[in-house]
């Protein structure tokens, strides 16, 4: 099987690393060769962050390059727009519609672009946009945005719901398990 590429992008502190760890565990369990690449340090301080998850028969490079991503999971609207160029021509973007203003916008040096959902769709890209923050809050915590998005992502895979739940169980503390399972189902059942 040809290597598949999933990019997880967002803002430092949004929980992108947990999502990539969960995916890594799930894919390893399915018997694939897997590589997950993270960036630590400077970029975690509220900056733009990106994590790469790659799986297949044999994975070499730990990173994903322009035009290679099968799926981009974005935790924030502007970040989805930033990484569009990394998507394959037939790739899919799943994005949280939440808007987090970066410092150049906060201080008025730049504008946050308008109508990004439409603009991305106009490129002919398959875009799943959902308000993952509201769904996460509905599940019990704004921090569960990552699991809501994993729920939505799970619809693109043939894996059973139980396999995903097992991976969640291995990735989150037990006291937040029920909350995260709820968040996962809200994302999975969401109709775009």
Positions in the binding site for other proteins (CB under 8 A): 11-13, 24-25, 28, 33-48, 59-63, 65-69, 78-79, 81-82, 84-89, 101-113, 116, 119-120, 123, 142
Q: What are phi and psi of 179, to 5 degrees?
A: -60, -45
Sole residue written with tokens 């609207």: 77
Which residue number, 109 or 158, has a Cβ lying nearer to other proteins?
109
At its nearest, how many Å lie between other proteins and the CB of residue 88?
7
Torsion, Cα of 170, 152, 184, 85 (10° steps): 50
At its nearest, how many Å lie between other proteins and the CB of residue 140?
15
Which residue number, 47 or 178, has a Cβ lying nearer to other proteins?
47
Which residue number, 6 or 185, has a Cβ lying nearer to other proteins?
6
Which residue number, 66 or 155, has a Cβ lying nearer to other proteins?
66
Which residue number, 39 or 177, has a Cβ lying nearer to other proteins?
39
At its nearest, how many Å lie between other proteins and the CB of residue 179?
17
Q: Which residues of 25-60 are buried (b: 16+ CB within 10 A; e: fewer)?
A: bbbeeeebebbbebbeeeeeeeebbbbbbbbbeebe
At its nearest, how many Å lie between other proteins and the CB of residue 161?
22
CA atoms within 13 A on the CB side of 50: 19
At its nearest, how many Å lie between other proteins and the CB of residue 105?
5
At its nearest, how many Å lie between other proteins and the CB of residue 103?
5
Nearest CA among 160, 10, 163, 170 for reference residue 94: 10
In sequence order, what are the residues at sequence separation of 6 or more whose Cβ sits closer than 8 angstroms to the Cβ of residue 83?
7, 9, 50, 69, 72, 74
CA 3 to the chain's CA centroid: 18
Which residue number, 120 or 185, has a Cβ lying nearer to other proteins?
120
């Amino acid at each position: 099987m040809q290597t598949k590429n999933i990019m997880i992008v967002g803002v430092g502190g949004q929980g992108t690393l947990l999502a990539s760890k969960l995916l890594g565990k799930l894919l390893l369990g399915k018997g694939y060769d897997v590589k997950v690449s993270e960036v630590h340090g400077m970029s975690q301080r509220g900056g733009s962050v990106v994590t790469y998850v790659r799986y297949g028969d044999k994975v070499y490079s730990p990173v994903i390059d322009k035009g290679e991503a099968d799926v981009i999971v974005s935790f924030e609207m502007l970040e989805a727009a930033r990484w569009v160029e990394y998507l394959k021509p037939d790739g899919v973007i799943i994005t949280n519609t939440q808007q987090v203003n970066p410092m150049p916008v906060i201080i008025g040096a730049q504008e946050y672009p308008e109508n990004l959902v439409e603009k991305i769709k106009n490129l002919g890209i398959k875009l799943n946009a959902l308000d993952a923050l509201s769904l996460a809050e509905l599940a019990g915590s704004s921090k569960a945005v990552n699991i809501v998005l994993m729920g939505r992502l799970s619809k693109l895979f043939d894996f059973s719901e139980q396999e995903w739940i097992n991976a969640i169980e291995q990735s989150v503390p037990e006291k937040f398990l029920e909350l995260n399972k709820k968040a996962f189902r809200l994302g999975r059942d969401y109709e775009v």
